[in-house]
Every structure is written in C-alpha cells, then in structure tokens.
Homo-oligomer: A and B are copies of this chain.
C-alpha cells in the first residue's frame, strides 16, 4: 500500500476520536467513579436504570452497546453492591428485569453532578457553536454506521 493512497484525514478523525474517548473514560473512572468502585460501563448501566427505573437485560445491552454476557456479569456485580436487583418476568420467564434500588438512586444523585462537571470540563476549550457542530457530525457517523 503506497503512502499517497492513504486517506490521512480519515485516519486522523478515527485516531483522535478513539484517543478522546479513551482519555474521557480514564478521567471519569479515576476522578469520579472510582470513589464507589464503578467502571464506565457499570455507571452507564446504573444511569439507564436511574432514568428508566427498571429495564430488561436485553434492552440494557442495546443501550450500552455491550454484549448480553457483559450485562449479565455487571448487573451481578451491581446487585452484590445492592445498587439494583434482578427479577424474572412472570409472563415470559425468559426475560429478566433489572431494577434500581434506593441505594442505587442515592449513588447516582451524588455522582451524576460530578460526572456532568467532568463532561463540561473536557469540552470547555470548545465554543458552544463548535460543540453543536461536532455533535451533529458525530450523530451522522453514528446513524450511517448504525452504531
């Protein structure tokens, strides 16, 4: 593959997106989530439960874009910490619902403001105009690739 056939702008976009995502995740886990032993994905799941109160594991896998096996493991960990509990559906016993507990809600009420503060900090070097612009472009990438 000759060098002049490389699409350097595409490489640059992909590389930079991944690096920001990685930095983002590390920063949040280190500065915010570690205080309650949560990983990025655990937090995402708990966030979804906070919003929806109760969600099927299959739906959780779609929302967070990880495999159902991972959902199974992480909700097990969250259940051990008493942040949520699992219960099989009575009508269709193949389905399991995960529900947030009061303790889980308290954690989110404490952590979310800190998390949001981190989000603001990370993009603070961009104007609101640039933020809107990047979001719109990324949404298009998400849509076109069905991410």
Identify which of residues 87-118 in chain A touch chain B, using a CB-to-CB cut-off of 8 Å: 112-113, 116
Check A17 against B24 for contact (C-beta < 8 Å). Answer: yes
A122 to B138, CA, bound (A): 11
Looking at chain A's contact residues, the main secondary structure is: helix
A residues contacting the other copy or chain, number (CB 8 A): 49
Pick from B7, B17, B65: contact of A17, CB under 8 Å: B17
Partner of A22, one of B21, B131, B133, B137: B21
Residue A73 at the chain B interface, CB threshold 8 Å? no
A141 at the interface (CB under 8 A from B): yes
* Residue A16 is within 8 A (CB to CB) of chain B in the complex: yes
